[in-house]
């Protein structure tokens, strides 16, 4: 689905952030964010570096991949599921936007690999927009067809996770670019905080799911 070279490029970020040409954007709660301007869209692509201090990387990876659990802890996920078409799995994701903006939805492919780097296990997830004829666009919902996200997780050497994310999407529609860029500044750290809390609650969630 994705190439070995693409995963290798992401792995490099663990040793040395690849930020030549990137602009430092903000730092919050131990998370550093850099951005790169996209002239075609007027938007930015982001690189995020940080740690989840009390969550192990295998748990972080499981939470990141668990779509059913995502619907529990992420209030923005209105609809989220995986389906198979022509032997390939794709994910549909409908995201709640605040009134009066229209919701956005995504159809994307995703792959996770567990690799080894400097004697430590590394979890890398790559996701990218794709087409799926059996998931047509919905009335009143704007389809995002330019979306990429990558996540790299490994141990921080203690009881936490060292994390790197790369993210870009173009939500289209009549949203001012300044508002989108402001949302990235506040939304990325808050998402990681939400995910950290979700990781803490994951064992209890699995226990209740296995009982039902």
Task: State yes or no: pLDDT of 164 exceeds 70.
Answer: yes
pLDDT by residue (tens digit) across 70-97?
999 998 899 999 998 888 899 999 999 8
Give the CATH number for residue 193. Answer: 3.30.530.20
pLDDT score at 53: 83
The one-character DSSP state at 9 is H
- Give 157's pLDDT tier (boundaries 50, 70, 90): confident
CB contact at 8 A, 147 and 129:
yes
Q: Which helix or strand (DSSP H or E) is residue 207 part of?
A: helix 177-211
Q: 180 is written with which tokens? A: 């989108």
**pLDDT over 80 (residue 28):** no
What are 181-193's pLDDT values in tens digits?
666 666 677 777 8
When pLDDT is averaged across residues 94-101 and rounded to a whole number, the result is 86
Q: What does pTM read for this prediction?
A: 0.90
pLDDT at 186: 67
pLDDT above 90 coverage of the chain, percent: 54
Comparison of pLDDT for 212 and 160, the residue scoring more = 160
What is the Cα 191 distance to its own chain's centre? 9
Average pLDDT, rounded, for the chain: 89
Report the distance separating Cα 112 and Cα 132, nearest Å.
20
- Domain limits at 108? 4-211
CA distances from 188 to 66, 132, 164, 180 (A): 19, 28, 12, 12
Q: What angle do CA 153, 154, 156 make, to 5 degrees?
A: 120
**In this prediction, what percent of the chain has a pLDDT beyond 70?**
95
Round to whole Å and give the CA distance between 126 and 140: 28
In the chain, the number of structural domains is 1
Mind giving me the DSSP string for 65-116? H-HHHHHHH-TTEEEEEEEEETTEEEEEEEE---TTSPEEEEEEEEEEEEEE
Residue 24 pLDDT > 70? yes
Q: Residue 185's pLDDT is what?
A: 67
Peptide bond connecting 100 to the previous residue in cis, omega within 30 degrees of 0: yes
- The CA-atom distances, in angstroms, between 210 and each of 203, 206, 207 are 11, 6, 5
Cα separation, 139 vs 145, in Å, equals: 16
Contact 34, 22 (CB under 8 A): yes
């Amino acid at each position: 689905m994705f190439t070995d070279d693409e995963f290798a490029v992401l792995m490099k970020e663990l040793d040395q952030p690849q930020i030549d040409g990137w602009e430092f954007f903000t730092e919050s709660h131990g998370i550093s964010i850099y951005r790169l301007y996209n002239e075609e869209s007027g938007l930015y692509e982001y690189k995020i570096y940080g740690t989840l201090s009390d969550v192990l990387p295998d748990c972080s990876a499981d939470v990141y991949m668990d779509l059913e659990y995502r619907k529990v802890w992420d209030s923005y996920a209105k609809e989220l599921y995986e389906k198979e078409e022509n032997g390939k799995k794709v994910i549909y994701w409908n995201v709640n936007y605040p009134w009066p903006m229209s919701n956005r939805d995504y159809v994307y492919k995703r792959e996770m690999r567990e690799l080894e780097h400097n004697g430590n296990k590394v979890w890398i997830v790559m996701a990218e927009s794709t087409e799926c004829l059996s998931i047509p666009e919905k009335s009143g919902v704007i389809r995002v067809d330019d979306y990429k996200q990558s996540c790299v997780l490994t141990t921080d050497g203690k009881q936490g996770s060292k994390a790197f994310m790369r993210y870009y999407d173009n939500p289209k529609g009549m949203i001012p670019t300044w508002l989108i860029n402001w949302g990235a500044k506040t939304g990325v750290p808050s998402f990681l905080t939400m995910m950290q809390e979700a990781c803490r609650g994951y064992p209890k969630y699995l226990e209740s799911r296995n009982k039902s």
